[in-house]
Amino acid sequence: MRNARLWARLLGVEKTVVEGVEFDEDAGVVVASVRPGRGQRRRCGVCGRRCPGYDRGEGRRRWRALDWGTVRMFVEADAPRVRCVTHGVVVAAVPWARHGAGHTRGFDQTVAWLATVCAKSAVTELMRVAWRTVGAVVARVWADVEAGNDLLAGLRRVGIDEISYRKGRKYLLVVVDHDSGRLVWVANGANQTTLGRFFDLLGERRCAEISHVSCDGARWMSDVITAYCPQAVRCADPYHVVAWATEALDVQRRQSWNAARGAARGISHNRRSRGTAKLLNNARWALWKNPENLSERQREQLAWIARTDPVLHRAWALKEGLRTVFAIARRSPAEAVEALDRWISWARRCRIPGFVKLQQRIVRHRHAIIASIEHRLSNAIVESTNTKIRLIIRRAYGFHSADAVIALAMLTLGGHRPNLPAR
């Protein structure tokens, strides 16, 4: 093998001629002088179209390549400019790097792959780059994937949810394909405008092909889904419905706790009331957890609540009753629908304000809840995706924009994870 071909293989460059290799002792790096191969010269850096030359640009330029052992490698070449009929005067394309990048394609692919599987400190230490650079690399690689693939093709059943990615009520809107389990779309912001952008990208024809949409009970989501996909069956996520009941239960627990604290602060400074308030505060985990997961001590706390605060215990029973409805749905949807109607009747007569309001809310979403029961569709896969996105956000702490986080999430969970070079 000739030296030029060997060096091209070691550098991981294609359609490139290696003219010479030098070791820069002052910088401690290896610099390979290269030029584009036949047919790769004088092409627009944006669209790749062959164009007439414009000038020699700003001289020679370097691109960071993958390290060779412990030594950093650079590719150096001229950077002439061309005149494109579409994009004007731009730097000519080179086969070893993306337009505007300071790294070779092999370097970009390696960094992007590491970012999907490693922590920030591991990527930056191994590749000897800043975390901001990792974000830029991930965004470049994802832009190539997005341009070369139709990510919204074949969607029939989708799940929609929102996830907080930063303090200050910063949210991402997440769309997942129920059939493939892929993350198909993420955008900054959780509102009607953002969700409308997704359906606008989908287009009228493909919106008409959506058969099922699962989401929480947010009215703004329902309004947008109804406007764009009136034929789709909207399924209310059972997890969120039970979460509504848990919130109503916690409101009642706080009311009982505040009543006990108020009695303890009275003129008599009732010691028994102070003890009751403390026990109610400590019993919140017993009220929140599923009965099958309770410890012996938590079972005793529930028994104590049943004796001392019947209203709070009835609120807990209502929460568990609603959870049981969805447990029944796994074996018999028809029985679950009947159980849901009985629960609504029970909650309507329970004389607990929080659960009276809850049954009114459930009545408003009854058709969507029944649809989720009959079609056995929930947002479980979306919640699983959200958990993975939270891990990515935690691992990617330090990105200064939502775009870098979105790109990393899509690369990791969108079914197009980058491969290592030559693998």
Single pTM value for the model? 0.79
Integer-rounded Cα Rg, in Å, for the chain is 30
pLDDT of residue 267: 43
310-324 burial string, b = 16+ CB within 10 Å, else e? Answer: eebbbbbebbbbbbe
Question: Distance (Å, rounded) from C-alpha 206 to C-alpha 227?
Answer: 14
Residues with Cβ within 8 Å of residue 372, at least 6 apart in sequence: 214, 235, 236, 237, 238, 378
Question: pLDDT tens digits, residue range 59-106?
Answer: 899 999 999 888 999 999 999 999 999 999 999 999 999 998 999 999
Residues with Cβ within 8 Å of residue 207, at least 6 apart in sequence: 199, 228, 229
Helices 131-148 and 120-127: angle between axes, nearest 10 degrees? 100
Q: How confident is the model at residue 337 (pLDDT cuts 50, 70, 90)?
A: very high
412 burial level (CB within 10 Å; 0-12, 13-18, 19+)? buried
Residues with Cβ within 8 Å of residue 371, at least 6 apart in sequence: 212, 233, 234, 235, 236, 377
Question: pLDDT tens digits, residue range 285-316?
Answer: 888 888 888 889 889 888 988 888 899 999 99
pLDDT of residue 290: 86
- Pairing relationship of beta strands 71-78 and 60-68 according to DSSP bridges: antiparallel
Q: How confident is the model at residue 1 (pLDDT cuts 50, 70, 90)?
A: very low
Q: How confident is the model at residue 397 (pLDDT cuts 50, 70, 90)?
A: low
Q: How confident is the model at residue 321 (pLDDT cuts 50, 70, 90)?
A: very high
Smallest CA-to-CA distance from 206 within 188, 221, 184 is with: 184
Measured at the CA of 246, the angle between CA 258 and CA 361, to 5 degrees, comes to: 105
Residue 402 CB neighbours (<10 A): 18
Question: pLDDT tens digits, residue range 121-147?
Answer: 889 999 999 888 888 898 899 888 888
* H helical segments located in 103-237: 105-117, 120-127, 131-148, 192-202, 204-207, 219-228
In this prediction, residues 326-355 reach a mean pLDDT of 93
User: 3-class SS at 226?
Assistant: helix
DSSP 267: T
Lowest mean pLDDT among 59-68, 260-269, 317-326: 260-269
Please tell me which residue, 21 or 397, carries the higher pLDDT value: 21
Question: Distance (Å, rounded) from C-alpha 305 to C-alpha 163?
Answer: 35
Question: pLDDT tens digits, residue range 150-200?
Answer: 889 999 999 999 988 877 778 899 999 999 999 999 999 889 999 999 999
